[in-house]
Structure 1
Amino acid sequence: MNTVKKIYADMPEIINVPKEFIHRKGEVIIILDEAVPKKASFLKDFYGSIPDFPERAPQGDFEERVPL
């Protein structure tokens, strides 16, 4: 039995198979990792969590460095 395992961080619309697998009997199993939130819902979860950033205090002057 020949097998191929491929893990996608971003599932493509079309999954290519090796040439030697084309037109042969086979089985495709897709297991989604539900622990990773979708990007859209992930951003919506944090949108508005910090209503306004506080004002930054003065950071001072840059230190003088010896050129390399």
Structure 2
Amino acid sequence: MKTSISRDDAFTSSLKLAYTIDQAVEASGIGRTEMFIAMKQGKLRARKLGKRNIILASDLIAFLESLPVREVA
């Protein structure tokens, strides 16, 4: 019996549940400075674990999806 995995399942299973700042920067392509600015402005939710900032994958995705869509000229 073969089990097929949908593209959505493959995408979801490859995601980490949470990222450090450096991991979120690498995963999103956004620079560290912009990441900290977004956190300070309340646009990107982060959690604290000791001294570390942790960003949930769902919060990173929500932030990226909230960015304006580039209009085609």
TM-score range, shorter chain: under 0.3
Report the TM-score when normalising by structure 1.
0.25
- Look at both structures and tell me which one has the larger radius of gyration over its CA atoms: 1
Report the TM-score when normalising by structure 2.
0.24
Please state which structure has a larger fraction of its residues in strand.
2
Please state which structure has a larger fraction of its residues in helix.
2
Higher RCO (C-alpha 8 Å, min separation 6): 2
